[in-house]
Structure 1
């Protein structure tokens, strides 16, 4: 399949590499073209603009925030009006998803397909894809999703459904990290090793990937290099808050998580992983 890929950060580069490995004819674009070197060396074509990358059958994008997506779609030489079906893997706000769906509807079509999984999962083609949009459009993307992930979940005909699921899931990840950080800080204050606590949790009723993966980060203080930087986590929690406000849904735990993300960024910088909220929890307890 002729595929364009736009956005070559940690996640995007890994996803694009797996599309190449699966034999797709890949054209890539990134604001900083040097990030495409390895992909081009492996056989990808380098586009000079987002529009050029969207001349095939499908154009997939993985970008950091709403502004980056808007620039690629609506900016100079953007993909709006290009022939490729736009598949957005980015975690973005519901209003923008609805705008993209409306504006692409009369042209190439739009599928919202955010993913769950950190860079290591992206490299291993083990992402979970959450897709929403026109059923036939998702069918067309099935070989691409199979090349990058271990399972695809279809959650509705409205693209915003996938984005809501993604935002809700990211909130739950942060809530789980917050709970583990608080519990580990408590037991450590009483003389129990964090590792022992994690072994009990994951060996009994909390045997789930989110606890084992993030629990290891907390036990080992492995917050750099960031797999997902705290400012991006804060961006996502702000998007969750906007969605909750629009739907009049109270989310009190969200306020705690956002405050700890802000504290972590202020105290430890923008290059810390979002799991670094554990540092804010410990600091509040006087356990540096």
Structure 2
């Protein structure tokens, strides 16, 4: 299959490489051209614009950082929509807001192209190992094209619904839950350490009992060891997702007390110096700092 791929950060590069290794003809684009060179080395061709990456493709995938980045690579003379042929498909794997997804769905409908949101749960190592959990939403005729390809990129593909924005809402909900888990584990490790219990032992005990799930194991270990770098899931990106979650909930008239609390924790973590090179686990800096337990 002829595939375009736009966005070669840690997640996008891993997914694009897997598409090449699956035998697809892949043309890639990234705003920082140097990031495309490792893909060229494994057999991808390199485009100079998103439109060029989309031109002639049956599917063009996007995996970019936020709503503004996806809007920038989709619209305009050099954007995906200007290169994507009628009947071809844009599969967005980016974490974006519901309103942006709805606008993109309408724009693709107007140009007689398809739009699917296929959000992912998993870190870059899971993307490289084809172990992502993928959840997709879109019209049936578009999903029939997208899902067989998506199934080669992860361990499962769940169908959310017919409206692409529904998948984006699921992603925001999931990342909201992750942020609450990190806050909880930070507070739990602080109490344990103050009580003379090794936080790593606490995490081991709890994740072998009632909290035997990847999120608790991965983030719990990082928090217990105060290992907040390098970033697998950048703290500022999850902070962005928190804002999008609050906006979506406000539109739906759903109060989110925990998301509002975590919003302030993100601000506090950033004020303490946590930035793009810090993982989401650095959110726990707040609970640990409040308890006087942050190790330099």
TM-score by length of structure 1 reads 0.97
Q: Which residue of 2 aligns with 1:59?
A: 60
SS in 1 for 2:23: coil
Give CA deviations for 1:167-200 in whole Å, capped at 9, x if unaligned.
Answer: 0000001111111111111111111110121111
> Following superposition, which runs of at least 4 residues in structure 1 exceed 6 angstroms of deviation?
none
Q: 2:286 aligns with which of 276, 280, 288?
A: 280
Q: Which residue of 2 aligns with 1:46?
A: 46
Q: 2:154 aligns with which of 141, 149, 154?
A: 149
CA distance in 2, matches of 1:76, 1:192: 60
The yes-or-no answer on 1:267 pairing with 2:272 is yes
Q: Is the 8 A contact 2:274 2:282 kept in 1?
A: no
SS in 2 for 1:223: coil
Give CA deviations for 1:199-248 in whole Å, capped at 9, x if unaligned.
Answer: 11111111111111111111222211101111111100000000011111
SS in 2 for 1:114: strand
Give CA deviations for 1:10-34 in whole Å, capped at 9, x if unaligned.
Answer: 1000010111111111000000111
CA distance in 1, matches of 2:199, 2:128: 29
CA distance in 2, matches of 1:50, 1:172: 33
Q: Is the 8 A contact 1:93 1:239 kept in 2?
A: yes
Q: Which residue of 2 aligns with 1:211?
A: 216
Q: 1:92 aligns with which of 77, 96, 121?
A: 96
Deviation of 1:267 after TM superposition, in Å, equals: 1.3
Q: Is the 8 A contact 1:3 1:27 kept in 2?
A: yes
Q: 1:226 aligns with which of 209, 217, 231?
A: 231
Question: What RMSD in Å do the two structures reach over aligned CA positions?
Answer: 1.1
CA distance in 2, matches of 1:29, 1:15: 13
Q: Which residue of 1 aligns with 2:193?
A: 188
Give CA deviations for 1:130-173 in whole Å, capped at 9, x if unaligned.
Answer: 10001121111123212211100001001111001000000001
CA distance in 2, matches of 1:164, 1:274: 20
Work out the number of aligned pairs and report it: 288
Give CA deviations for 1:254-279 in whole Å, capped at 9, x if unaligned.
Answer: 12212121221221231211110111
CA distance in 2, matches of 1:75, 1:264: 37
Gaps of 5+ in 2: none
Q: Which residue of 1 aligns with 2:168?
A: 163
